[in-house]
């Protein structure tokens, strides 16, 4: 059953595994609603990809599970279900399948979907936080209150970091999206993913430390009220460093460009946080990083011979052969051969 | 005749330009009165709308406007209502992408706002541009301005008795611009000089 | 393709579908992004473009025998600008409200590549009547796609169609549909759907 539906992708399974742990802890924090939202997102995400891939006569990639969980866990706990649904359909259909499916998408689908709903429904996504309430498993299904109040980033800008408790935040007891609050678990996942060579450590390190450095710089210069060590466990910068910037499809391949790419994501995030109207800037950071990924790769000096992912080459050639995708697909194919 | 010669080219361009420009000025001449009338009516409609007069029937606008004392040079307008006099002032201020222009009207106690109407803005359509929607403008009707200023807030809920209205979600900077523009005009309303001008306007009967 | 077959039916099909200015030639995208968040504005704007394309093609065709080659483009631009200004004046005089809404975009019709494209590619080498038809159908091809995009954007962005409330009050509008980037997604959809449909039928892409 599973083999008939999915193409096997071992790397993705490890990411899914670590995200599952996040999911369990998030359910502990915010209640069973977390499970309901993520089940819905998974079902719709798989269904959307299945519809497209069936037309191409292919199987659903296991990467879609990662996309669904990354997207689902990036939503606020009390987000209306219909909004969660719109976002994942957009993520898979537009950000992934319209570009030609797995391996061809320029933008990380999860973040594209997240940003799509963030811009479309700003109110619903900025005022559907919930206070972690342990033990509140069943309470979360029906009676849990929506807390419109401010996330740590907003609290810091208004009242200063004095109103926050670092360790409480570190262990996940703060307002935030479902998967982003438990910093300790994300760090543990980072170690696991790096040790198993699932995630590229350069991407994690460069994203995280560029954000930290810029936060510190702006704070010392007196331009920002965000206290660096609090800022790094607020919002989704840690979540994004570990899970989003490491997406092998949308990140560059050469080591030097990976440093640059991470630094771009980290610094755009901080600049949006500090200077723009949006409280959190990670989505913008990743999308801008994605946009420049191939360009950065192109400009960097030639690396030691490193084969490209085979997945992006084979289907492109097939489509170009049948005239299926026209010019777009042919470009991908030639790009792959260079 | 050689069509590629310089002389031919110049003559050709001259004739073509001349005839097209001639036709354009004809068209312009024919419609100019209509365009100007449209502009005058749009302006009168805006003044009346800021004063809370029903302007849904375009045919009645000029008739209604006859009851307004206007000092077009200073951009001041006054109208005797059933129970009170309403003063209106023209404003132009900096918006997000370009100037925002319109009219602000207050009651003769200078403590209650009567309304606001925008005639020109370049705000982002659908975001800042939503200042033109009725729900936004209606918030200013009867707004308490006794402390001399208003707040347009995206974060805090509206409170007419404290002079606070809802901003436009997603358009913080436009909301801030409106707040600044209105407050600047409100302090103008409160100045003794302006009140003097309004009194003169009412007494002279204006040049309406 | 279009230089060869000048039968009215073929031109119609070509301009509306097989080489639709928007989704095959990807021309005139600026206005596709800018004016498509309300159907009424889009309708007026695209009617303006259709008229300008039709009449400027006709005029170019009429004058082509007298036109010195080196100033060809200049004269074409002059002709196009002439018709655009006429449209602008007409809107100001008879539809002041819409003229205000469209703002600078009416004037920007001059820079719409579709018009210049048709003048240069078709009207320069064909008769006035068929050139007029070619211009009008190109405008209609442009209108079709833009109206489709505007339909989705107004419905989801405001809950209305042509200003009439369609969706219930409880509907939460999608802010992204109101701002220009959404036209990019929707245009992507249209190009994708259009090309897929074409490939299925085996038409030359």
Tokens of A279: 């409280």
Give the relative orientation of helices A183-195 and A10-30 as an angle to the nearest 10 degrees: 170
Q: Is A243 within the bounds of a domain?
A: yes
Site of tokens 């899970």: A243
Structural domain of residue A254, as residue ranges?
2-299
Q: Tell me the count of B-C CB pairs closer than 8 A.
A: 64
Contacts of A123 in chain B (CB under 8 A): 169
Domain locations along chain B: 68-204
Q: How many residues does chain A have?
A: 338
C73 to chain B: closest CA residue:
B13
Contacts of B35 in chain C (CB under 8 A): 89, 92-93, 96
- In this structure, are residues B50 and B59 in contact, taking their beta carbons and an 8 Å threshold? no
CATH of the domain at A42: 1.10.3430
Query: Residues C69, C74, C75, C77: is their CA dihedral positive or negative?
Result: positive
Q: Dihedral angle at the C-alpha atoms of C1, C7, C11, C14, nearest 10 degrees?
A: -50
Cβ burial, residue C12 (10 Å; 0-12/13-18/19+) = middle
**Interchain contact B126–C (C-beta under 8 A):** yes
Q: Is A321 within the bounds of a domain?
A: no
Tokens of A28: 């502990």
Per-residue tens of pLDDT for chain A, all 338 residues: 677 777 777 778 888 889 999 999 888 888 888 899 999 999 999 999 999 888 888 888 888 999 999 999 999 888 889 999 999 999 999 888 888 888 888 899 999 999 899 888 877 787 777 777 655 444 444 445 555 566 778 777 777 777 777 888 888 888 888 888 888 899 999 999 999 888 888 999 999 999 999 999 999 988 888 888 888 888 889 999 999 888 888 888 888 889 999 999 999 999 988 887 677 888 889 999 999 988 888 888 775 555 555 444 444 433 433 333 333 333 333 333 33
Round to whole Å and give the CA distance between A222 and A216.
10
The pTM (predicted TM-score) of the whole model is 0.75
CA atoms within 13 A on the CB side of A308: 20
Give the B window 8-37 contacts with C, CB below 8 Å: 8-9, 12-13, 16-17, 20, 23-24, 27-28, 31, 34-35
Contact state of B38 with C96 under an 8 Å Cβ cutoff: yes
Domain locations along chain C: 8-201
ipTM: 0.75
- In this structure, are residues A15 and A243 in contact, taking their beta carbons and an 8 Å threshold? yes
Contact state of B169 with A122 under an 8 Å Cβ cutoff: yes
Round to whole Å and give the CA distance between C83 and C99.
16
Contact state of A324 with C199 under an 8 Å Cβ cutoff: yes
pLDDT at A149: 61
Q: Is A323 within the bounds of a domain?
A: no
pLDDT at A270: 92
Which residues sit opposite B116 in a β-bridge? B104
A91 to chain C: closest CA residue:
C185
Contact state of A277 with B169 under an 8 Å Cβ cutoff: no
- In this structure, are residues B148 and B190 in contact, taking their beta carbons and an 8 Å threshold? yes
Round to whole Å and give the CA distance between B12 and B57.
51
Residues of C with CB under 8 A from a CB of B: 37, 63, 66-71, 74-75, 78-79, 82, 85-86, 89-90, 92-94, 96, 103, 157-158, 175, 178-179
**Interchain contact A160–B (C-beta under 8 A):** no
Contacts of B172 in chain A (CB under 8 A): 277
What subunits touch chain B, counting only 3 or more CB pairs under 8 A?
A: A, C
Round to whole Å and give the CA distance between A322 and A334.
16
Q: What is the DSSP letter of B104?
A: E
Round to whole Å and give the CA distance between C130 and C136.
10
Of A119, A121, A324, the CB nearest to C172: A121
Number of domains in chain A: 1
Q: What is the pLDDT of residues C99-145, one digit of tens each?
A: 877 777 788 788 788 888 888 888 888 889 999 999 999 989 889 88
Q: What is the DSSP letter of B123?
A: P
Phi and psi, residue C28, nearest 5°: 70, 30
Per-residue tens of pLDDT for chain B, all 208 residues: 677 788 898 999 999 999 999 999 999 999 999 888 888 888 888 899 898 887 777 778 888 888 888 888 888 888 887 778 889 999 999 888 789 999 999 988 888 899 999 988 878 766 787 888 888 999 999 888 888 888 888 767 788 888 888 888 767 788 889 999 999 988 888 888 888 888 888 877 644 4
């Amino acid at each position: 059953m599973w083999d008939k539906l999915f193409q096997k992708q071992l790397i993705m399974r490890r990411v899914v595994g670590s995200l599952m742990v996040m999911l369990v802890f998030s359910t502990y924090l915010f209640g069973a609603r977390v499970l309901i939202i993520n089940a819905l997102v998974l079902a719709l995400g798989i269904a959307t990809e299945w519809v497209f891939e069936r037309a191409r006569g292919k199987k659903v990639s296991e990467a879609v599970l990662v996309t669904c969980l990354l997207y689902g866990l990036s939503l606020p706990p009390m987000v209306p279900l219909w909004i969660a649904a719109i976002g994942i359909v957009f993520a898979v259909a537009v950000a992934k399948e319209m570009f030609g499916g797995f391996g061809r998408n320029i933008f990380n689908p999860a973040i594209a979907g997240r940003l799509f709903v963030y811009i479309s429904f700003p109110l619903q996504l900025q005022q559907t936080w919930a206070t972690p309430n342990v033990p509140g498993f069943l309470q979360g299904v029906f009676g849990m209150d929506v807390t419109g109040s401010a996330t740590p980033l907003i609290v810091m800008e208004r009242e200063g970091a004095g109103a926050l408790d670092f360790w409480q935040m570190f262990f996940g007891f703060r307002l935030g999206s479902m998967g982003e609050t438990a910093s300790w678990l994300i760090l543990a996942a980072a170690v696991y993913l790096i040790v198993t060579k699932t995630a590229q450590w350069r991407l994690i390190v460069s994203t995280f430390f560029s954000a930290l450095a810029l936060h510190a710089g702006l704070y010392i210069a007196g331009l920002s009220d965000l206290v660096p060590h609090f800022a790094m466990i607020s919002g989704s910068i840690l979540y994004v460093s570990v899970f989003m910037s490491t997406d092998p499809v949308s990140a560059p391949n050469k080591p030097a460009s990976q440093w640059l790419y991470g630094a771009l994501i980290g610094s755009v995030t901080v600049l949006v946080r500090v200077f723009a109207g949006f409280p959190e800037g990670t989505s913008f950071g990743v999308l801008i990083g994605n946009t420049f990924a191939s360009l950065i790769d192109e400009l960097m000096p030639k690396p030691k011979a490193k084969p490209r992912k085979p997945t992006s080459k084979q289907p492109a050639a097939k489509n170009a052969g049948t005239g299926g995708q026209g010019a777009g697909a042919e470009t991908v194919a030639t790009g792959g051969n260079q | 005749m050689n069509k590629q010669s310089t002389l031919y080219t110049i003559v050709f361009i001259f004739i073509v330009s001349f005839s097209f420009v001639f036709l354009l000025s004809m068209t312009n001449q024919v419609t100019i009165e209509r365009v100007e009338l449209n502009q005058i009516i749009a302006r009168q409609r805006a003044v009346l709308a800021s004063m809370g007069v029903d302007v849904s029937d375009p045919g009645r606008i000029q008739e209604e406007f006859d009851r307004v004392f206007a000092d077009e040079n200073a951009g001041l307008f006054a109208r005797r209502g059933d129970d009170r006099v309403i003063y209106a002032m023209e404003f132009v201020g900096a918006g997000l992408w370009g100037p925002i222009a319109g009219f602000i009207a207050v009651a003769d106690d200078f403590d209650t706002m009567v309304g606001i109407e925008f005639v020109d803005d370049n705000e982002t359509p659908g975001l800042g541009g939503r200042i033109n929607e009725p729900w936004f403008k209606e918030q200013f009707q009867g707004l308490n301005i006794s402390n001399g200023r208003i707040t347009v807030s995206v974060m805090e809920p509206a409170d007419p008795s404290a002079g606070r209205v809802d901003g436009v979600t997603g358009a913080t900077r436009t909301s801030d611009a409106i707040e600044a523009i209105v407050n600047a005009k409100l302090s103008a309303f409160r100045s003794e000089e302006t009140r003097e001008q309004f009194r003169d306007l009412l007494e002279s009967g204006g040049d309406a | 393709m279009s230089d060869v077959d000048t039968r009215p039916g073929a031109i119609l099909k070509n301009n509306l579908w097989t080489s639709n200015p928007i989704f095959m030639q990807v021309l005139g995208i600026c206005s596709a992004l800018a004016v498509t968040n309300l159907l009424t504005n889009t309708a007026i704007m695209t009617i303006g473009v259709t008229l300008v394309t039709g009449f400027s093609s006709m005029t170019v065709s009429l004058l082509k025998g007298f036109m010195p080659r080196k100033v060809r483009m200049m004269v074409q631009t002059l002709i196009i600008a002439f018709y655009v200004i006429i449209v602008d004046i007409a809107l100001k005089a008879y539809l002041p409200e819409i003229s205000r809404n469209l703002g600078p975009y009416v004037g920007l019709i001059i820079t719409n590549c579709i018009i210049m494209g048709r003048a240069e590619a078709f009207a320069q080498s064909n008769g006035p009547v068929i050139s007029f038809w070619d211009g009008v159908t190109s405008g209609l091809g442009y209108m079709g796609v833009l109206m489709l995009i505007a339909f989705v954007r107004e419905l989801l962005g405001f809950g209305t169609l042509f200003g009439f409330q369609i969706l219930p009050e409880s509907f939460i509008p999608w802010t992204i549909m109101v701002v220009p980037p959404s036209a990019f997604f929707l245009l992507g959809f249209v190009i994708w759907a259009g090309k897929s449909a074409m490939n299925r039928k085996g038409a030359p892409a």
